[in-house]
Amino acid sequence: MSIATAVVEQVEQAAARRGATAVAAVRLEIGELAGVVPEALEFCFALACEGTALAGSVLETRSVPGRARCGPCGVEWRPGLPPDLLCPRCAGARAELLAGRELRIREVEWAAGTALAPG
């Protein structure tokens, strides 16, 4: 619920800066290693939107696959779930996660007819 509330608060702040009165959709990128269950987030999002400019808006999520790179040999791979951070080429344990932990607002679609401040 705290993630949904944080998303709603950020979008409401953006709406206030732009003079928008309603939101049609919020699009998020969620890394597959972020520990977020999209279905649970959607449920909580609907509750968090009640009584806000986001009431009735849709939450759309896009999964970002995990990607890791081995420090010593440079090979990149998908670590999977649960993440396997041992290099598939050299079995090294010095992997760097490049992608998959994201939780980012990618886009906000303002409702048709909503007033927007210029700029």
pLDDT digits (tens, 9 = 90+) for 59-88: 999 999 999 999 999 999 999 888 888 999
In 21-119, the DSSP E strands lie at 23-31, 58-64, 67-70, 76-77, 95-99, 103-110
Annotated binding-site residues for Zn(2+) read 70, 73, 87, 90
Annotated binding-site residues read 70, 73, 87, 90
Q: What is the pLDDT of residue 118?
A: 37
- Tokens matching residue 20: 């928008």
CATH 3.40.50.720 fits 2-110, yes or no: no
Backbone torsion region of residue 98, taken as left when φ is above 0, otherwise alpha when ψ lies between -120 and 50, otherwise beta = alpha
Query: Average pLDDT for residues 98-103, to the nearest whole number?
Result: 95
**pTM given for the model:** 0.81
CA 119 distance to own-chain centroid: 25
